[in-house]
Structure 1
């Protein structure tokens, strides 16, 4: 089973990128507060997230940096070559559902299937 549910705050400004014909992606990070203080003083974990299509557009429309959101999805790992031609290994969460816990509008949980029926302006 590969399922993950997180509640945290959006770390960076929301930016959706077009990656091909009619495809959009959002890359950001969620800060998840710890219940205890780490030895180095870190009180949060920072989890990279990826959202595609309508989920990415919904996050862009309803959220901003610092907003509290709940996300459901799965973990994926991948590698790529950076500018220095080094192989970079990435572990990230792919978002398939989102709960808007704080933002411009309150909405319920929205999945990819439901999001396809929503027009985002």
Structure 2
């Protein structure tokens, strides 16, 4: 079974593009801190190449940016290719199936100057393991997270769940 979960910080600007066939694609790297210290008493990190397609790519492009912490799950795949000079390149990349929106939107509270907007977007990330979309559509009017501030008692009455 090929299933991976990572929590890490985005280390470079997102690269969003549309393929010739019209499929949205976003690629970026996340730094995942190891759970143990090295001989110098410091934590090291692994850098994971991530790629997302379609609605997940669109969602990430709209709500994430360099420096944000993300929790993602997906499948590791070989990314081997030969360049124009005949040099073979070997690597792995995570094909993202799901983004944990709870972790992603914690960044908004910590970055009040964020240019990322949540206005009118269908939080359409899917739970691939369940085979269905489990996230409801949320509009700006009913989104207590839109202002990025702490929840109040009035906000709790407006939650969509």
Same fold at TM > 0.5: yes
Deviation per CA, 1:32-74: give whole Å up to 9, x if none. Answer: 1122233586621111111111111100101111111110101
Give 1:110 deviation, angstroms: 2.4
Q: Which of the two has higher C-alpha Rg? A: 2
Contact 1:99 1:108 in 2 (8 A): no
Alignment TM-score, normalising by the size of structure 1: 0.80
Distance of aligned partners of 1:70 and 1:80 in 2 relative to their CA distance in 1, 3 Å threshold:
same
**Gapped regions of structure 2 (runs ≥ 5):** 109-117, 138-161
CA RMSD of aligned residues (A): 2.8
Greater strand percent: which structure?
1
Alignment TM-score, normalising by the size of structure 2: 0.62
Residue correspondence of structure 1 range 1-121 to structure 2 within 5 A:
1-39=1-39, 43-100=44-101, 101=103, 102-104=106-108, 110-111=125-126, 114=133
Equivalent-residue separation in structure 2 for 1:94 and 1:39 (angstroms): 33
Distance of aligned partners of 1:55 and 1:82 in 2 relative to their CA distance in 1, 3 Å threshold:
same
Would you identify which runs of 4 or more consecutive aligned residues in structure 1 move more than 2 Å? 35-42, 102-105, 107-110, 112-115
